[in-house]
Amino acid sequence: FWTDKKKTEKWFASFELENITHYKMTTQEFVRSDVYRDLNHVDILFVDGFHSEEQARQDHEAFLEKMNENAIAFFHDSVTERNSRMYGAEKIYQYGVCRYLDQLKTDARFQVFDFPFTDGLTLVRKNTGRKIFDPRKLDPQP
């Protein structure tokens, strides 16, 4: 699915998201690109690639310095370990995103929250000690 630029753009457009630019490359390729070098900051990072512990770490760390103070990273397939045959029976590998996230849970620099539905989604943000959103600071409604 993600290999077809038109299908990818159409999928995002179905959610009325028009400001999406598709780059078909690995994280390792992307971080060597001019586009990566020109990124000023990242507000939202969605990690859903090769699901090994090592690749989840590489994906996160590649963008960590570009993530602003209130940025949020989402990790998909993040609460289970299992074998994947996604690339065929001869290329079985183990989902290990959860092992990387278990390490982040012990790192005081981060806040980590699991949504344990099916294979999971995990939210990670820098632990700034401040709230991102404080409804008490909203203007009262007339």
Residue 33 contacts by C-beta under 8 Å, 6 or more apart in sequence?
23, 25
Residue 69 contacts by C-beta under 8 Å, 6 or more apart in sequence?
126, 128
What is the rounded distance in angstroms from the CA atom of residue 64 to the CA atom of residue 45?
Answer: 9
Residue 138 banded pLDDT, cuts 50, 70, 90? low
Strands 67-76 and 121-126 come out as antiparallel
Tens-place pLDDT, residues 68-105 = 888 999 999 888 887 777 778 888 778 789 999 999 99
Locate the domains of the chain by residue range.
1-38, 41-127
What is the rounded distance in angstroms from the CA atom of residue 105 to the CA atom of residue 54?
Answer: 16
pTM (predicted TM-score): 0.80
Q: What average pLDDT does the structure give for the chain?
A: 87
What is the rounded distance in angstroms from the CA atom of residue 93 to the CA atom of residue 86?
Answer: 9
* Superfamily for domain range 41-127: Vaccinia Virus protein VP39 (3.40.50.150)
What is the rounded distance in angstroms from the CA atom of residue 86 to the CA atom of residue 42?
Answer: 29
pLDDT for residue 137:
66
